[in-house]
Chains A and B, each alone.
Chain A
């Protein structure tokens, strides 16, 4: 995993775990890699991974089963989504608005683009499930 320069590594690892949950790769109840395994995989200090996991536990996205390890919470998916949404509104949206304002892009123009994007995503999903059915 390549780390970006603008965010603490522990937050980037937490985002990586969140992505796995959002993409459905790690569903509710799934055991997540141990601190050591994750540290080896990402070539980072185990204490950093520990901090990421504590951060995610604090948000209720993962939980600790004593002696068994860490698992994705039943409502982990919803919690990741809510947390990401809050971040988006706080961080990304002001930046988007600033660019729209500077470049004179109207909300209607964005709305149209977004509808196209949604349609495209749906097509891709359909295509993917068709491919799966064929196999």
Chain B
């Protein structure tokens, strides 16, 4: 559904953000995009959405470059920015003016999402709190029923019950035709919601694996003794070494996204070799 080929992008020519970045995303999945501050998560999402343009290389949505900003592409895409902008309208008025751009928009869904997220459809959005504004835009974005849904740090500013509702809503809107991409630092908010992990580091995507693949190849746990194991990453804890080891026993443990992130963004060559042995020979 989304194909990125050899993407090069920089805001400042001395500091390239992406160097020949490649990525392929399919419908029917929820992708979690992780990366350190300044790694370029939002910029990558903007390139996908046609809000920033590649210096070279291509971002394709269903085979069409998103930078062309064709109506056929944009009407099937919704981007929820980290900082939402809201005009001085009520959600109902916003709906009347904006929903028409999205042919698959569902008015019923919109009002039901507003209700679930506890947003008053008749209140001026400029009078709402930041969290409420964000929830309003989330409700709108989900109701567009676009094939591509991009959410940049969606849980920032949401209170605890809203995060629960957000997870339920995202779980309910995924279908075979939809590709959902969520960037986040709040891994605990989303770790059971995403099925594929993308980690942006060192100007490229270093990890692009389904959680099934990760738990098949890796084992996360606390070990008193690591001898004889292929240790890919370790941290010291009071209980022993908290480590990622190569999964040779065929156990299916639970993945720890935080530990994986730390491993992928520090000295990660061992980890990456286990995850992508094929690329070594290219």
Contact = CB atoms under 8 A, between A and B. Distances in A.
A48 B192 contact: yes
A39 B173 CA distance: 10
A113 interface: no
A9 B212 CA distance: 10
A3 B192 contact: yes
Contacts of A10: 252
A47 interface: yes
B254 A3 contact: yes
Contacts of A9: 192, 254
B256 A5 contact: yes
B210 to A, nearest CB: 9
Q: Would you call the interface of chain A mostly helix, strand, loop, or mixed?
A: helix
A44 interface: yes
A7 B172 contact: no
B231 to A, nearest CB: 19
Interface string A1-17: 00111111111000000
A40 B254 contact: no
B254 A43 contact: no
A75 B175 CA distance: 32
A7 B253 contact: yes
B30 interface: yes
A40 B215 contact: no
Contacts, number: 58
B192 A43 contact: yes
A51 B212 contact: yes
A43 B164 contact: yes
Contacts of B212: 51
A7 B195 contact: no
Contacts of B171: 36, 39-40, 42-46
A36 B172 CA distance: 6
B180 to A, nearest CB: 10
Interface in B153-198: 164, 167-168, 171-172, 174, 192-195
26 contacts: A4-B254, A6-B253, A7-B252, A8-B254, A10-B252, A11-B252, A36-B171, A36-B172, A39-B172, A39-B174, A41-B168, A42-B171, A42-B192, A43-B164, A43-B168, A43-B171, A45-B171, A45-B174, A45-B192, A45-B195, A46-B171, A47-B28, A47-B29, A47-B30, A47-B195, A48-B195
Interface of A: 3-11, 36, 39-48, 51
9 closest Cβ pairs, A-B complex: A43-B167, A8-B252, A39-B171, A44-B192, A45-B195, A47-B195, A40-B168, A40-B172, A40-B171
